[in-house]
Structure formats: structure tokens, C-alpha cells
Amino acid sequence: MAGYRAGGEDEYDYLFKLVLIGDSGVGKSNLLSRFTKNEFNLESKSTIGVEFATRSLDIDGKIIKAQIWDTAGQERYRAITSAYYRGAVGALLVYDVTRRSTFENVIRWLKELRDHTDPNIVVMLIGNKSDLRHLLAVSTEDGKELAERESLYFMETSALEATNVANAFSEVLSHIHMIVSRKAVEAADEVATASSVPSVGETINIRDDASTWKKFGCCSSS
Ligand SMILES: Nc1nc2c(ncn2[C@@H]2O[C@H](COP(=O)(O)OP(=O)(O)OP(=O)(O)O)[C@@H](O)[C@H]2O)c(=O)[nH]1
Ligand SMILES: [Mg+2]
């Protein structure tokens, strides 16, 4: 999360790691390629190992660089879990609105995510393939309800039609940015408070420097 503005092309204020998770075939890799390259592939292959891509956005006047990690939803292709999640500050948990089983597995993904990440991580539940309206197997209401129950943000997207893809990523990034800026303000407040008025009940250390007392001819220095 370092600020880096030393010049050159790659300038940013914050670097945030996001992870994509969810069952195989829900469209994680296409959401990533839509967001970072504006590309979509109808015949994309299952991801093997880990891939990542980046894109920088301007959020509240700051340049936020998102480093987005993508791995296979299929168990046998998955990369080592703890390394995948390490340092992630946001997650997009994706299901396919045309396949009920991918929605039912959301709870399992959420558990894995919670087991491996900081409790403050920003998580958005994504119902992808919203363009396939005639094949709908998970209603918007079901998605919303689960998101509310699990305290997640929620959005329906289509990587194919590019609907809500940029919105989903930028909303996650802007929530993370809000949390980070709030923490910075709190830290600044703490510093300010510590250097001014003592709080109630606080012990004030009136220096145990003997020279202060000696000036007044008080006390023995031995
Ligand atoms: N109609 C439609 N198809 C999509 C959409 N997003 C992805 N697909 C298709 O769904 C299939 C799987 O997409 P991927 O992006 O490879 O899925 P994945 O989640 O990365 O899968 P794994 O890497 O195996 O975990 C591909 O055939 C995509 O073209 C979408 O929004 N609408
Ligand atoms: Mg993939």
C-alpha cells in the first residue's frame, strides 16, 4: 500500500491487492480481462495456476492501482491458497446467475476467504452473466439477501456486455480507499492528542531528571 509518485509512467498513491474467487466457469477471468483490457473471450480456458493484471483508477483525487489476482475455481488447478490470499484488501466473490450450484458454493468460498484474510477485507458478491436472462437460475433478490446476511456488497454483472464490471471493481476500490483514509485520519488524531492535552486518568511523567530538583537545592542526587 505504498505511495509512489517518483515520476515515470507507473505513478500511484495506493496499491491494493484484490482477489477473484468463485467456482470454475463463473467468469472470473473474463471479468478481469474486461476490466483491465476491455476484452472478452467466449471460449476462454480454465485458468491454470495464478494470473494477475493491474489497472489504475482515479478515486477521490487519488490514483489507486489495483493488482487483481485470478486463479482457477477448480480444485485441481488451484494455486497454494494462503499465498493467493496474502495481503488482499478486497475480494470479488463471483457466482454464475445461470447455475444455482455456483451460488450455493458461495458460503464455502466465503469461509475460505475469511480463514485466510484480515476481517476488514472488502468483499463484493457478484452475480455474473446477467445477459443470459432467459437462463436465470438465481434471482437478484436471492443474491441481495445472501449479501445482506453475510455483510457483503452486491452487484450483478455481465463480462460479455460490459455491464457493471468497472462499477463493481471501482466500488470495491473506493470502499477500501475510504477505510484506509479513515485509518490515516485516526492515526493523525492519535498523534495530535498524544502531543497535547493529557486524557483523564493518564499518568503524567514529570521527568525523573534529578537536575531539575537540584536547581532548587532539593533532595540528594545519590
Ligand atoms: N454469456 C456470458 N458468458 C460469460 C460471461 N462471463 C464469462 N462467460 C463465459 O463463461 C465461460 C467461463 O468464463 P471464465 O472467465 O473462463 O471463467 P472462470 O471463472 O475464470 O473459470 P476458471 O478459470 O475455470 O475458474 C467462458 O466461456 C466465458 O466466455 C458473461 O458475462 N456472459
Ligand atoms: Mg479463469
The mean pLDDT of 161-172, rounded to a whole number, is: 98
CB 159 within 8 A of CB 165: yes
Read off the C-alpha cell for 27.
467468469
Residue 14, SS3 per DSSP:
strand
Integer CA distances (angstroms), 204 to 147, 188, 191, 212, 214, in order: 48, 21, 16, 16, 21
Residue nearest to atom 28 of ligand 1 (CA): 42
Report if residue 221 sits inside a domain.
no
CATH value at residue 174 = 3.40.50.300
Which DSSP string corresponds to 107-144? HHHHHHHHHHS-TT-EEEEEEE-TT-GGG--S-HHHHH
Residue nearest to atom 8 of ligand 1 (CA): 27
The mean pLDDT of 202-221, rounded to a whole number, is: 42
Report if residue 24 sits inside a domain.
yes
Report if residue 222 sits inside a domain.
no
How many other C-beta atoms lie within 10 A of the C-beta of residue 8? 7
Q: pLDDT tens digits for 20-53?
A: 999 999 999 999 999 999 999 999 999 998 999 9
Helix-strand-coil split of the chain, %, nearest 5: 35, 25, 40
Question: Could you give the angle at the alpha carbon of 31 between the alpha carbons of 71 and 10, nearest 5°?
Answer: 85
| Number of structural domains found in the chain | 1
Report if residue 85 sits inside a domain.
yes
Report if residue 69 sits inside a domain.
yes
CA atoms within 13 A on the CB side of 154: 18
Read off the C-alpha cell for 20.
477473484
Cα 39 to middle of ligand 2, angstroms: 14
User: What stretch of H or E contains 101?
Assistant: helix 100-104
pLDDT at 214 (0 to 100): 36
Ligand 1 atom with the smallest distance to the CA of 30 is 15
Report if residue 149 sits inside a domain.
yes
Q: pLDDT tens digits for 72-119?
A: 998 777 767 889 999 999 999 999 999 999 999 999 999 999 999 999
Mean per-residue pLDDT over the chain, rounded? 86
Q: At a CB cut-off of 8 Å and minimum separation 6, what does 118 contact?
A: 89
The mean pLDDT of 117-138, rounded to a whole number, is: 97
Report if residue 109 sits inside a domain.
yes
Ligand 1 atom with the smallest distance to the CA of 158 is 31
The mean pLDDT of 149-173, rounded to a whole number, is: 98
One-letter amino acid of 114: R
Phi, psi of 184 (to 5 degrees): -65, -40
pLDDT at 153 (0 to 100): 98
pLDDT at 128 (0 to 100): 98
pLDDT at 5 (0 to 100): 53
Alpha-carbon span 68 to 31, nearest angstrom = 11
Report if residue 40 sits inside a domain.
yes
Domain that holds residue 130: 2-216
Q: pLDDT tens digits for 168-194?
A: 999 999 999 999 998 878 888 877 766
Ligand closest to Cα of 157 equals 1
**205: exposed, middle or buried (C-beta count within 10 Å: 0-12, 13-18, 19+)?**
exposed
Residues constituting the chain: 222
pLDDT of 147 strictly over 90:
yes
**Residue of 29, 43, 163, 167 with the most ligand 1 atoms within 8 Å of its CB, for mutation:** 29
Phi, psi of 136 (to 5 degrees): -55, 125
pLDDT at 189 (0 to 100): 81
